[in-house]
Amino acid sequence: MASGSHGDGGPDYDWSWTGDSSDWIPPDVDTTRPSPARMYDYALGGKDNFAVDRAAVDEIGRSFPDYERAARLNRSFLVSAVQLIAEAGVRQFIDLGTGIPTSPNVHEVARKVSPDARVVYVDNDPIVMAHNRALRATVPDVITVQHDLRQPATVLEDPHVRALIDFDEPVGLLMVAVLHFVRHDVAPEIVEQYGKAVASGSYLAISTACHDGMDLEGVRLIEAVCARSSAPVVMRSAGQVEQLFESFDLLEPGLADVSHWSGEPPASIRLLAGIAHKS
């Protein structure tokens, strides 16, 4: 993979050899503060994290011993959502805030249903970009672009995105475990902008942290730990989560804990999720 390949729109880094060096740290990676992507990777049992990330997760885990299970339940929701959307006939996906790759990836799930499915992975974290590019460099019709999802126009107008995604056909928009890093007042508008850009028949899948039903002290602990990270967390009420779907029609069962999609009991950290359709 050549330096700056795959049209990231960001710094021209050569990350082609990252898969061969587990100790290599990409440029601009701050290892003094926890990263939500690396924390999530650690919670899922991954190895692409640093001591500061593990310490943050462990601190939360002392009050929420099933923190790792909450992460796994969220990942199960992602897999279920992609499968449902692909089975509905959608063959192209945009995964916003994709995080560090964890198998099964979106393209792997989608291609079990439609082998020709196309996927755009979007993230602004340098270490996420490094691992995504290293693992997916040779996968056809799968690209990774370096953008902040809070700037929909930049994502949607990226020439590499436009070349892969046909916006006259339905798209599967994925915003899984990412909007709790976006402010209350701007998130609904951001989702709406993406919703306006996709054709009728498109789908939207969202999961995000919800404070309803959680212990107040526990919520404050999560907020305090994440306030020290590169992306402070924003906990929402169920009503605020529902507001994110205003441009779409929620499918049954509507908003539900992420555990609904795997049939397991909810975890102590609550993540609300839904899958919706654009008429």
141 vs 20, higher pLDDT:
141
Q: Which residues contact 172 (CB under 8 A, 6 or more apart)?
A: 81, 82, 85, 86, 90, 92, 93, 94, 110, 202, 203, 205
- Predicted TM-score of the model (pTM): 0.85
pLDDT > 90: percent of the chain:
57
Q: How far apart are CA 134 and CA 212, in angstroms?
A: 39
**Domain regions of the chain by residue span:** 77-214+233-277
Q: How far apart are CA 107 and CA 103, in angstroms?
A: 10
Structure tokens at 220: 């404050």
1, pLDDT greater than 60 = no
Q: Which residue has the tokens 């999720």?
A: 273
Q: What span, in angstroms and rounded, lies between the C-alpha atoms of 187 and 33?
A: 24
Is the peptide bond between 253 and the residue preceding it cis, with omega within 30 degrees of 0? Answer: yes
The answer on pLDDT for 142 being more than 50 is yes
Distance CA 85, CA 56 (A): 34
Complete DSSP assignment for 21-34: -TT---TT--SSS-
- List, for residues 16-72, the tens digit of each pLDDT value: 434 444 454 555 677 788 888 888 888 888 888 889 999 988 998 888 888 889 989
Q: Strand 271-277 and strand 142-146: pairing? A: unpaired
* Per-residue model confidence as pLDDT tens digits over 214-233: 988 888 888 888 888 777 88
Q: Tell me the residue ranges of DSSP E strands in the chain.
A: 92-96, 118-123, 142-146, 172-176, 203-209, 249-250, 256-257, 271-277
In CATH, which of 3.40.50.150, 3.90.220.20, 3.40.50.620, 3.40.50.970 is domain 77-214+233-277?
A: 3.40.50.150
Give CA separation, 181 vs 104, 177, 211, in Å: 24, 9, 14
DSSP string, 188-220: HHHHHHHHHHSPTT-EEEEEEEB-TTS-HHHHH
Cβ-contact 106, 187 below 8 angstroms: no
